[in-house]
Structure 1
Amino acid sequence: MARIVVVGAGVGGLATAARLAVTGHQVTVLELTDAVGGKLGRHTRDTPKGSFHFDTGPSLLTLPEVFHDLFEATGAKLDEYLDLVPLDPIVRHVFPAGGPVLDSCADPAEFTARVGAALGDRAAADWQRLWRRAARVWRASEHDILRRRVDSPRDLARLAWRLGDLAAIRPGQSLRGLDRSQLSDPRLRMLLDRYATYTGADPRRAPAALVAVPYAELTFGGWYLRGGLGTLADALLSRCLDLGVVVQTGATVTRIDAAGGRVHGVRVAGRRAPIPADVVVANVDALTVYRDLLPDPRRLAGLADRSLAGFVLLLGVRGESGLAHHNVFFPRDYDAEFDAVFGAPQRGVRARPAADPTIFVTVADDPAVRPTGHEAWFVLVNAARHGTAPGAIDWRRPGLAAAYADRILDVLAERGVDVRDRLVFRDVRSPADLAGTPGGAIYGTAGGLLRPANRGPVHGLWLVGGSSHPGGGLPMVTLSAQIVAEEIGPAW
């Protein structure tokens, strides 16, 4: 039996703890904040009309089989803890300039038909051709990449890729390059470009292999958890406690002790003696690990990749809007948005708030999250990280966040959804308000396809979560936990 300390009680940390505890290890989870769940955050706003409840992180569950596997591996059934509601549409895409609306769904043939009805037969034929390629990329990556350790690009090169798989994956091609070569309709290109932002990346630089992301979503479906996605954190915490995991909140880990090339424990603020450990699993951003907890300049230098942050409005809205659960309102000029969000530090061009951004609106049709006759809106806009570097924005500059919130509501009104006179309240969260994530980078600081390795640079150190392999998003984070737990193995 190993003494294992998990730093961070996000989904990756809790999932790893549960998997390790069920195999006989002694597991302690240390969480900086007062609540578990990590980016799977929640916010409640009480008003005279009643309480509004918001998911402040992920609002869509995909690849549900990953979570069924997790609960079964820890001796339970997912359906005993969570109520999964399938979504159709998964996402409502609203194109600019009064363009058509395209609702996505988990039936590939039906979605192709919807593409044809909204955008024409040529667009539907293009989508079918792209879909065949996406299927091949998914099949090649799902087993060989997403479910096993990948410590370096050499590991990818050593895989026994079939030539057809390599042709589909197109190493070296960007997602933008792929959609320009495959899709003639600019609106379909917008739809595909959006999936780069799922990893915090710019589609003009993100790898074409990310075409597997929409394939997974539109093949296996999108799901809502009744009561909000935060109920997943409750379920994982319950599994951990039932399995004997010790979970301590309000515990600030300041250092990982690793003399002699192996971990010995962690140091916690306010405690004289370190907490001993044979294994440490870090469920915090890789940048935090290699900058603060176990400084490693070489690995830190590899985390210079720029990643998106998010600017959020939490709105209490009177009446009903008729919106879908997930809605995306596209801008006229998507590239202008990416230029603003990422900036061009090499040319001395600073990042700035996008004047005409893509706006994501989530409205859960769930009486548990809003008073009768009202809606709880989660509004997200891609934004530059918080900071003072050329590729960041100082979101604490007086008046900036409030002014940008006004701008977002104005843009929504211009796109046909005006709620400015129906607001019960408006809460604003800029990237500066996202605690625990460097710069407010909601997808992890290492955006892109190849993330930092799960195995750390010293014996007994492992990384899980959105900033490590296989990447961000609830299913990928949960798979990172499976990879690490299997590598550590059962108690001896």
Structure 2
Amino acid sequence: MSRVVVVGAGFGGLSVAARLAARGHRVEVFEQGPQVGGKLGWFSRDGFSFDTGPSLLTLPAVQRDLFLKTGAPVEEVLDLVPLDPVAHYRFGDGTELDLPGGGLPAVAAALDEALGAGTGAQWTAFQRRAAQIWDVAREPFLESALDGSRTLVRLARDTSALRTVAPWASLRGLGRTYLQDPRLRTLLDRYATYSGSDPARAPAALATVPFVEQAFGAWYVRGGLHRLARAVADRAVDNGARIHTDAPVAAVLQSGTRAGGVRLADGTEVAADVVVSAVDAARLYRDLLPRPRLQPQRRLRSSSGFVLLLALDGRTPGLRHHTVLFPPDYDAEFADLAAGRPVADPTVYVSAPDDPALRPGDDCEAWFVLVNAPVHDPGRGTDWQDAGLVARYTRTVLDTMARRGLDVRHRLRWSEVRTPADLERLTGSDGGAIYGTASNGARSAFLRPANRSPVPGLFLVGGSAHPGGGLPLVGLSARIVADLVGEA
């Protein structure tokens, strides 16, 4: 068995560590921060607690596979709660929609009731196409390591599959084929933001995102999703892995032409047969493996997020687990993001689980509030370290919520702000880009950094590498890399 070093204890790093340790490899994980989890973060103050990253779990089969392959089933470790409704949507025209979690027929019925007869049929027709894309793309693009241009060539030979995936079409373009109601198109556009992308440029294959959420359900981990990261870390340790926190890695070492271990910031060198990088791919190639010929071409970074953690007095009648408040002009939001400036009239996303573990009593609430934001880029875009900007934009977000019917300014006990600059500092993500590379363009899947690096023995896992960001895809990347290590 191999000596394996994993750089970074985010969800991808922990997942691949657990899988490799369960297969008998000697695994050591080095994490720069004081705790594990990466973007599956957690913040507590005065009895209020917040997940600072993902707030729902989709495609739970990926996590079930991880836990089954490494020990006891996930249901014996975590309390997974199905969400129903998954989210409450408020559109720019004032229309409101509760999107259920009971499967595609329930979604269609809810759309007909909220948006008018026939909208359910439009969405169902779109989801049928999305299901076909899922069937064609799942194995070669999501569950396997890409084999360079040969993967695209194989797809191109299957003309039926090519027509189904429609790599020449954008997500928005595919939506317009099926969705006549503009509110349905707004709803679809939001799913591009799950990968930090622009729906007018994101590939039609991202239709699989709403399909997966609505066909297989959305789930919450009671006590907060950060418990998922801790459970995977425990599983890795139970299988023999060693996890070191407050242990930043300064460089990936090479032995001849192969990866040979890592050098820590304190100068300690740790030898290894295999190195798995779970840090942002841009940081790996720029800082940890400083050989210009190995650095991939710079790609468009995904968007980031501006976050408010709100400790509120009182309770909100009828509050759902997720609430999404759309602006009247959704296109303007993507124009602002493309220009690298804070969104003037943003979509506001609120996660407020009704979970006693997150609040000090029944007379208060803990809200995680997110708006899409450009990355931290002081030289060419937005400087999120500007205290004046942060204060102004905090007021913008709270005022926007008030205009759209969720005025909590008079209930605010305290708030904490997390900017893209904070995300970059805490997780090492390039500019705070949540998903690494944006999924924009027909060839975006082939432009994402591969799981197998140009250096033999060095592999990439996590949201900035193939197949992409979000808990399901990061979990799949860990499975792919574990298999690749076994072949190396």
Q: Which blocks of at least 5 consecutive residues in structure 1 are unaligned?
A: 344-350
| CA–CA distance in structure 1, aligned partners of residues 277 and 313 of structure 2 | 42
| CA–CA distance in structure 1, aligned partners of residues 405 and 438 of structure 2 | 36
Q: Which blocks of at least 5 consecutive residues in structure 2 are unaligned?
A: none
Q: What does 1:163-242 align with in structure 2 at a 5 Å threshold?
A: 163-242=159-238
| CA–CA distance in structure 1, aligned partners of residues 12 and 144 of structure 2 | 15
- The residue aligned with 2:374 is 384
Q: What does 1:425-464 align with in structure 2 at a 5 Å threshold?
A: 425-434=414-423, 435=426, 436-448=428-440, 449-450=444-445, 451-464=448-461
| CA–CA distance in structure 1, aligned partners of residues 469 and 149 of structure 2 | 18
Please give the secondary structure, in 2, of the residue aligned with 1:320: coil
Q: What does 1:332-351 align with in structure 2 at a 5 Å threshold?
A: 332-343=328-339, 351=340
Question: What letter corresponds to residue 310 of structure 2 in structure 1?
Answer: L
Question: What letter corresponds to residue 302 of structure 1 in structure 2?
Answer: Q
Match of 1:353 among 321, 342, 346: 342
**Structure 1 segments of 4+ aligned residues over 3 angstroms from their partners:** 159-164, 296-301, 445-449
1:228, distance to aligned residue in structure 2 (A): 0.1
- Alignment CA distance shift 1:170-1:389 (3 Å): farther
Which has the larger displacement, 226-235 or 141-150? 141-150
Is residue 106–residue 217 contact of structure 1 (8 Å, CA) maintained in 2? no
Please give the secondary structure, in 1, of the residue aligned with 2:186: helix
- The residue aligned with 2:383 is 394
1:131, distance to aligned residue in structure 2 (A): 1.0
Question: What letter corresponds to residue 11 of structure 1 in structure 2?
Answer: F
Match of 2:252 among 248, 251, 256: 256
What do residues 449-478 of structure 1 show as CA deviations (whole Å, max 9, x unaligned)? 512110011110000000111111111101
What do residues 230-286 of structure 1 show as CA deviations (whole Å, max 9, x unaligned)? 001110111111111011011111111125321111111112x42101100000111
Is residue 63–residue 475 contact of structure 1 (8 Å, CA) maintained in 2? yes
- The residue aligned with 1:346 is none
1:164, distance to aligned residue in structure 2 (A): 3.2
| CA–CA distance in structure 1, aligned partners of residues 274 and 301 of structure 2 | 30
- The residue aligned with 2:466 is 469
What do residues 394-415 of structure 1 show as CA deviations (whole Å, max 9, x unaligned)? 1112311111011111011100
Question: What letter corresponds to residue 429 of structure 2 in structure 1?
Answer: T
- Alignment CA distance shift 1:429-1:443 (3 Å): same
- Alignment CA distance shift 1:446-1:300 (3 Å): farther
| CA–CA distance in structure 2, aligned partners of residues 389 and 333 of structure 1 | 29
| CA–CA distance in structure 2, aligned partners of residues 330 and 433 of structure 1 | 25
Please give the secondary structure, in 1, of the residue aligned with 2:387: coil
Question: What letter corresponds to residue 14 of structure 2 in structure 1?
Answer: L
Which has the larger displacement, 172-181 or 310-319? 172-181
Matched, 1:309 2:298: no
Count of aligned residue pairs for this structure pair:
478
Is residue 250–residue 262 contact of structure 2 (8 Å, CA) maintained in 1? yes
Is residue 446–residue 452 contact of structure 1 (8 Å, CA) maintained in 2? no
- The residue aligned with 1:146 is 142
Question: What letter corresponds to residue 33 of structure 1 in structure 2?
Answer: G
- Alignment CA distance shift 1:422-1:186 (3 Å): same
What do residues 371-398 of structure 1 show as CA deviations (whole Å, max 9, x unaligned)? 22111000000000001244x3111123
| CA–CA distance in structure 1, aligned partners of residues 214 and 285 of structure 2 | 36
Please give the secondary structure, in 2, of the residue aligned with 1:255: strand
| CA–CA distance in structure 2, aligned partners of residues 365 and 161 of structure 1 | 50
1:175, distance to aligned residue in structure 2 (A): 0.9
Match of 2:284 among 289, 305, 320: 289
Matched, 1:319 2:314: yes
| CA–CA distance in structure 1, aligned partners of residues 343 and 62 of structure 2 | 36
1:123, distance to aligned residue in structure 2 (A): 2.0
* TM-score, normalised relative to structure 1: 0.94
